[in-house]
Amino acid sequence: MKLFCKIYSLRKKVANKSFTLITLLTLRAISAWALPDGSLSDTNIQYFGRWDFSNPTQYQAYWVGAYIKVNFSGTAVKIRLGNTNNYYVKIDGGNWTSYTNVTGTLNLTPTPLANGIHTLSVAAGQDYSYVFNFQGISLNQGATTSPPTVAPTLIEFIGDSITCGFLDPQEDVSAYAWICSGGLNCEHTQMAYPGITLVTGYGYNADKTGMDIQYFKLQPLGYASPASWAFNTYTPKVVVINLGQNDNHFSVPDATFQSDYTNFMAGVRAKYLNAEIFAMRPFSGAKAAQTLAAVNARVAMGDSHVHYIDTTTWLSSGDYLDGTHPSASGQTKAANLLKPILAAYVSASLPPTIGGLTVNTNGSATVLYASLSGFNYHVETTTNLSQPSWAIVPGSVTNITGNSVTFTDRASVISTKRFYRVVSP
C-alpha cells in the first residue's frame, strides 16, 4: 500500500507577516500565539455549497445543503446565526441533532464535552427555506479551532424536492444526496429546490424559472435579480442530476424536455470540463426515455463522460411518504443503491490528514486525523525534522472502522519538541 503522511502545522498571520509553526512546539511557545477563535476571519472554518462572503458581518448561503465544518478544542461550542431556520448539528461524528426555528446564539453543547479536540458540522434548511446566515462560533476561553478533515472529492447533486429531502424530519441531511456522498467519504453540494422543473416556464412555484437557468445562479428561486454563480470556488469530480418529476407533472412536451436536458448537460460540461456527469432516471420513471435520449445525444456529440442511471425497481410504494417523496428510509435505500455506481468515479482512498492537535494539561498530546474504514494506520513521532528518525508511538496502531481517529500520545511534550505524522500501513 502507498504511504500517506502529513506533518501537522499551524499557519497564522501576525502583523501582516506569515509564520508557519511545525507542531508540536513547547507548551510555552504555543501559548504565546493568538490562535484561531471561530470568527468569520478564521480560515480553519471550511464552507461547502454556494456561499456569499461579501458581507463582513455574516456569510450567507441560499441553496439547500450548504454546510460548514471545523474542529475545535475545549468542552463547549456555540454558533452565532443571523436568521431563523432549522439547523442540523453533528459533533464528533455522532447523530445529527435538530434545532428547530432558532436564531441568534445557539448553545450546541448544553452538556459539556470531554476536554480535547472535537469535530463540528452544521447545516441548515427546512422545506422551501434554506438560507444559512453564519456569524461565527464561540468557544471556551483559551480554546481554539483547527482545520477539519476535508475529503479530496466533491459530488454536486442537482434536483428538485426529492434531492432536498422534502418532508423528511431532517430535510437535507436525510436526503439520498447527503447520505450517499457521506458513505463515499466525499464532500457534496445540493443544488435543488422544491417544485422546480428543468424547463423554464413550468413548476409549482410562482417563479417559473427552471433549473436550466437557476442552476447557474448564486440563489435559488424567489430572488428578484439573482447573481450569477462564478463557478470558481469548488470543482466537483462527479455531478448527479435528478430532474423530470415536476416536468412530467406539468406536461412539459417530451421533445422540449429532451432538448433542454441535452443543452443543460452541455452547460454543466462547460463549467466542469472534467467531471463525470450522471443523469438519473427519476425514481417514479417520469421522463425516463427522454432522459436516456438526452444522455445518448451528449455521447453522440463526443462527451464520453456522461452516464445514465437506471433506477427502475429502486423504490417501492412503501418507500414513499406521499407517493412522490421518499421517506427517510427510502432516501437511505436510494443512497445505498447509488453509492456503488458512483464509487468507481470518486477517490478510492482518503489520505490520513491530521486535522487537529491539542496539548493537554497533563502534558500529553491528542492527535485527530482523517482515515478510511478498513485500513491500518499508526502515528509516528520525531524530535528533529532536519535529520528525522521517525518512531511509531506505542498504542497508535489501529484498524479503522470510521472516517476519523482520535489518538492521545501520553508521553510528556511540555519541554520537548515533538513532530507527528500518520502512516498507512
Cα distance between residue 212 and residue 200, in whole Å: 7
Helix or strand (DSSP H, E) at 246: helix 245-249
- Show the domain range for 227: 154-343
Angle in degrees, 0-180, between the axes of helices 328-343 and 176-183, rounded to the nearest 10: 40
| Residues 393-401, mean pLDDT to the nearest whole number | 79
Q: How confident is the model at residue 7 (pLDDT cuts 50, 70, 90)?
A: very low
Pick the last residue of a domain from 294, 316, 343: 343
Pick the last residue of a domain from 106, 123, 143: 143
Residue 18 lies in a domain: no
383 vs 254, which has greater pLDDT? Answer: 254
137 lies in the same domain as 216: no
361 lies in the same domain as 321: no
Residue 9 lies in a domain: no
The count of structural domains within the chain is 3
89 lies in the same domain as 134: yes
Residue 19 lies in a domain: no
40 lies in the same domain as 66: yes
189 lies in the same domain as 108: no
Residue 3 lies in a domain: no
Residue 29 lies in a domain: no
247 lies in the same domain as 126: no
Q: How confident is the model at residue 423 (pLDDT cuts 50, 70, 90)?
A: confident
Residue 1 lies in a domain: no
331 lies in the same domain as 358: no
Cα distance between residue 33 and residue 36, in whole Å: 10
* CATH number of the domain where residue 100 is located: 2.60.120.260
Is it the case that residue 272 has pLDDT exceeding 60? Answer: yes
* Residue pLDDT, tens place only, 126-159: 888 899 999 999 999 999 999 999 999 999 999 9
Is it the case that residue 165 has pLDDT exceeding 70? Answer: yes
Cα distance between residue 151 and residue 157, in whole Å: 16
Mean residue pLDDT of the chain comes to 87
238 lies in the same domain as 289: yes
215 lies in the same domain as 308: yes
Helix or strand (DSSP H, E) at 190: strand 187-192
Predicted TM-score (pTM) of this structure: 0.78
Cα distance between residue 367 and residue 7, in whole Å: 11
Cα distance between residue 31 and residue 302, in whole Å: 58
Pick the last residue of a domain from 85, 114, 143: 143
136 lies in the same domain as 198: no
CB within 8 Å of 149: residues ≥ 6 apart: 69, 71, 119, 353, 355, 368, 369, 370, 403, 404
* CATH number of the domain where residue 208 is located: 3.40.50.1110
339 lies in the same domain as 361: no
Under a CB-based contact definition with an 8 Å cutoff, are residues 131 and 59 in contact? no
Residue 219 lies in a domain: yes
| Residues 28-47, mean pLDDT to the nearest whole number | 72
246 lies in the same domain as 119: no
Residue appearing with cell numbers 436564531: 103
Residue 270 lies in a domain: yes
